[in-house]
Amino acid sequence: MKIGTHASEDLDKIIARKRSEIANTGFGMWGYGGNTCHPASMVQPFARSFAERGQPIHLVMEQMQSNHFGSGVAAEYSVDGQSWSEIPDTIEVRGSKYALLIEDLHADSMNLPLDQTRVPVGPSTGRLGSLYIKGRVDKACLEVTDAPELPNDREPKIIEIGLVAKLKDPYAVFLRGER
C-alpha cells in the first residue's frame, strides 16, 4: 500500500496515532479506500488463506506524496457489511471507506521486488504484481513467489518499503457514519 498524508493529517502524526491505538486497544485500524482491496471479496479471503497455513499476513507500505483531503472520523465498522459495531473511542479512522486491522506497526527498510509477487485472489489472480501495481492502483493483495519473473520489455520494478504492520483477524472491515 502506498501511504502519505491522509485526511489532511501528515504521515508522522498518523503513525504516532496508530501506535497509540495499538498500545491502548490491542489493535489499530488503518483506513483506506478503493476496491482493489475490498474487505469481503479480496482482503479477508486472501488473509484467511495465509492464516490457515499458519503464515503471517503483513501490510507493507511505501511512502509517497499525497494530498488526500477527506474528512470525518468513522463511527462504526462491520466485517460483512451487514452487522455493525461501534469503533472503540481509543481508535480514529479518518476519511476512509474501509480499514485494515493492524498490530505491531514498525518502521522497516526493505526492497520489495514486485516482479517476485503475484495477485493470489480476485479477478486478476495470477497477474504479476509489477503489472498490477501501476497507474491509479496503489494497493493490492500480493503473494511473494520463490523467484522473480523478469520480463524482457522493461526494467525490474522494486519498491522501497518503510513501514510494516501485521494484520489481525478479521483483517479488513467496512466503515460508516461519523462521530
pLDDT at 150 over 80: no
Residue 173: its pLDDT value, please?
A: 98
What's this model's pTM, rounded to 2 decimal places? 0.92
Q: Of the ranges 39-43, 137-141, 162-166, which one carries the lowest mean pLDDT score?
A: 137-141
pLDDT at 69: 66
- Residues β-bridged to residue 59: 165
Query: How would residue 35 be classed by pLDDT, with cut points 50, 70 and 90?
Result: confident
**Model confidence at 50, in pLDDT bands (50, 70, 90)?**
very high
- Flag whether pLDDT at 134 surpasses 90: no
pLDDT of residue 13: 93
Asked if 59 contacts 1 with a C-beta cutoff of 8 angstroms, the reply is yes
Return d(Cα 96, Cα 117) in angstroms, integer. Answer: 27
Q: How much of the chain exceeds pLDDT 70, in percent? A: 98
Read off the pLDDT of residues 60-116 as tens digits, 9 standing for 90 and up: 999 887 776 677 899 999 999 999 999 999 999 998 999 999 999 999 999 999 999
Q: What is the pLDDT of residue 138?
A: 87
- Mean pLDDT, rounded, for 45-59: 95
Q: Is the pLDDT assigned to residue 18 strictly greater than 80?
A: yes
- The mean pLDDT of the chain is 92
Rounded to whole angstroms, what are the CA distances from 59 to 75, 88, 105, 149, 161?
Answer: 23, 22, 9, 22, 10
pLDDT at position 161 is 96
Q: Within 13 Å of residue 68, how many CA atoms lie on the same side as its CB?
A: 22
Cell numbers at residue 143, please?
503473494
